[in-house]
Amino acid sequence: MASITPSIDDFLKPLAIDSHTVFDLSRELEATFRHLSAESLDQFLPTPISESILRPVAGHDRGRYEPIPDNIKSGGTNLRVAFVELFGSGNVALSQVAESLEGLKTNGTVNNHVPHRRLERLLEKSWPIQNHLKNENSENLFAWIGDRVAQVVRKGCDTFGLDPGVSLPMGVTFSFPMKQSSLSEATLMAMGKGFAITSDLDLGGHLIKGYEKYRTQDMPLIEITAISNDAVSTLVSFIFQFPAETHQKATMGLIVGTGSNATLPLKLSSLHPSKRPSSISVLPDQDIDDVKIAVNTEWSINGTAPPLRKLGLISQWDEALDKAGEVPGFQPLEYMTAGRYLGELARLIFVDYMSLLGFPLEILPEKLREKFGLTTTFISHFYPDSPKGHMLDQLEREFPAQDGPGGFFWEERMAHVLYRIAHSIEVRAAGIIAASTVGLLRSADEIPSHDLNGWYTGITELAVGYTGGCIQFFQNYLADTQTFIDEILAIEYSGDAPIRVTLSPCHDGGITGAGILVPAALASHST
C-alpha cells in the first residue's frame, strides 16, 4: 500500500509555536538566565563600567568631554573604521577612529543617519573579512586590521590635523566573548563564527601591534581606552541616543544578525563572585555597593537547550543542524534564531519534504545539495508579493533546474512549500527571541513579578534597542517578535500589564557605542 505524503501543515508541526508556549519559555529562560548569571563562568560576562556611566544622569552633560578618542568594533563579516563626533549641549567633542566587524550586513552601503544628531560618524570605511583571514593565525588577522585602522588614521591626520605627538584614545567593540579585568583590557575567548582563533589572547595588545606595523612617524600612537562586546556597545549607543521621556527607560541591547546576543545592566550581587571585576569605572560620587554594570549575556552559547527541549521546541532538523556544526551543542539558541543558520535549517527541512514528494536529494539543483546552499538572505525575501518577484521566478533564478542531473523542474507547489517552511522558521525564531527578551528583563528585575504590591517606579515602557539584518529583514521577524512580547505580558497580567516592552531601532550601535564609551571612561574613576 502506497504511503500518503503528509500535508505541509502536518509536516511542519515540529516547528509550531504559540503565545502560551512562548510565555512558558520566557519563565523557563528567566530561571536559566538567573542561574547563568550566578554560576556560569563563560556567560553573563561583565563590562567593568557602571550603569551611571552608561546612562545620562542629571548634572552630567556629555558635551563636557573633550578628548579625541578612537574605537573598534568587531564581528563576523565586516570590519568598519570611522571617526565619531559626539554632540553635547556645550562644546562639540570629537570622538574617533572606530573599527567594527559586523555580524550580518545586508548591503554595501553605510548609513550615517543618527537620530536627533547626537553623534556623527566621519571618514568611515568598511571592508569584508575574507575567509582566508578567518582561517589564518591571530598575527595575520590583526595585521590586516591594523593596516585598515592606519588608513583611516592617516585620513584623519590629513583632515583634522591630528598631532602625531599626542596619543589617540581608542574604543573597541568586538563581537565575541571576552573577559575583562578593566574597561581598557580584555582577553578574547574562543571566537567561533568561522574564525580559526581558539586560544585566549590579549585583544588590545594585538590591535596595537597590528597598527604599529603600518604607522608612520607622522601619525599618532593609539591608546586602548575602552573595550566592549558589540551587544554592550549597542546598549551604550541606544541609551545615548534614545529620546526617553519620563515614563520610558532604554534598558537593553539586542542583536539578531549573523548571531544572537543581548546585554543589559545587572547588579554585581547577581554575578558569580569570580566574574565581579576588581575595578569598575563609576562616577566620582557613586557608591559601589550593589552597583549595576553592563553584562554581555552571550545567551546563545549554553543553558538554553534544556528549556527549549522541555517545551518541545527542538525539532529533528535542529538536531541535524547542530550535529553538523563546528561545535555541536555550543549555540542551541543561535541555531534557531540567527541569520548564520536559518537558511541552512530551511534547506534541511525543504530537502526532507521534497524527498517525501518523490524528489531525492541527488536530482535537485546543485546548490540545494550543498551545505548552506540556501541562504537566510534568500528566504528572508521569499514570500508572496515580494519585491524580489514571483516566488517561482525567484527559485528558478537562484536554483536553476538545469543544474540538477536532469528530469527536474520547479513547480508552484514547491515554491509554496519553501515559503511555508521559511515562514514557520521565522515565527518560531520570533517567539524564542521574544521569550528570551522578556525572560532576561525579568531576571534583571526590570519587569515586576505578578504580585505588584509596593511596585511603582514611574516607568511604564522599557525600550529595547535592536539591530541586525536578520530581525530587520527576515520575513516579519521584527513585527512578530513585538507581537509575542505583547502577548507574553498580556498573559502574565491578564490583559492589564503595568509596563510595556517595545523594540526600537539602534543600528550601527557597535561602532558608535565604543566611541561614546571613550569619553565616559576618561571622565570616570575606578573603584
**For residue 75, is it within any domain?**
yes
- Residue 293, beta-bridge partner list: 50, 266
Which three cell numbers mark 19? 503565545
DSSP category for residue 389: -
Q: What angle do CA 192, 432, 301 make, to 5 degrees?
A: 25
What's the pLDDT score for residue 172? 81
DSSP letters of 249-297?
A: EEEEEEEESSSEEEEEEEEGGGS-GGGS-SS-EE-TT---TT-EEEEE-
**For residue 285, is it within any domain?**
no
Do the beta carbons of residue 149 and residue 210 sit within 8 Å?
A: yes
The CA distance from 7 to 356, in Å, is: 10
What's the pLDDT score for residue 479? 98
What's the pLDDT score for residue 326? 77
What's the pLDDT score for residue 1? 36
Number of domains in the chain: 1
Do the beta carbons of residue 82 and residue 127 sit within 8 Å?
A: no
What's the domain range around 240? 61-254+509-518
DSSP letters of 153-164?
A: HHHHHHHH---T
Amino acid, single-letter form, for residue 84: V
User: 282 φ, ψ to 5°?
Assistant: -130, 170
**For residue 180, is it within any domain?**
yes
**For residue 356, is it within any domain?**
no
**For residue 70, is it within any domain?**
yes
Nearest to 173 by CA among 262, 81, 259: 81
Which residue matches cell numbers 509596563? 499
DSSP letters of 26-79?
A: HHHHHHHHHHHHHH-SSSSEEEEEEHHHHS--TT--GGG------EEEE-SSEE
**For residue 5, is it within any domain?**
no
**For residue 499, is it within any domain?**
no
Do the beta carbons of residue 243 and residue 115 sit within 8 Å?
A: yes
pTM above 0.75, yes or no: yes
DSSP letters of 212-231?
A: HTT--TTS--EEEEEEEEHH
Cα-Cα-Cα-Cα torsion 283, 287, 288, 293, nearest 10 degrees, comes to -50
- Four-residue CA torsion sign, 133, 137, 140, 146: positive
Measuring CA to CA, how many Å separate 516 from each of 236, 298, 525? Answer: 7, 22, 16
Which residue matches cell numbers 568611515? 124
Residue 401 zone, left/alpha/beta (φ > 0; ψ -120 to 50; rest): alpha
The CA distance from 82 to 39, in Å, is: 38
Do the beta carbons of residue 244 and residue 461 sit within 8 Å?
A: no
3-class DSSP state for residue 370?
coil
**For residue 438, is it within any domain?**
no
Q: Which regions of the chain are under pLDDT 50?
A: 1-2, 56-75, 89-97, 100-116, 525
Output the domain CATH number for residue 121: 3.30.420.40
3-class DSSP state for residue 83?
strand
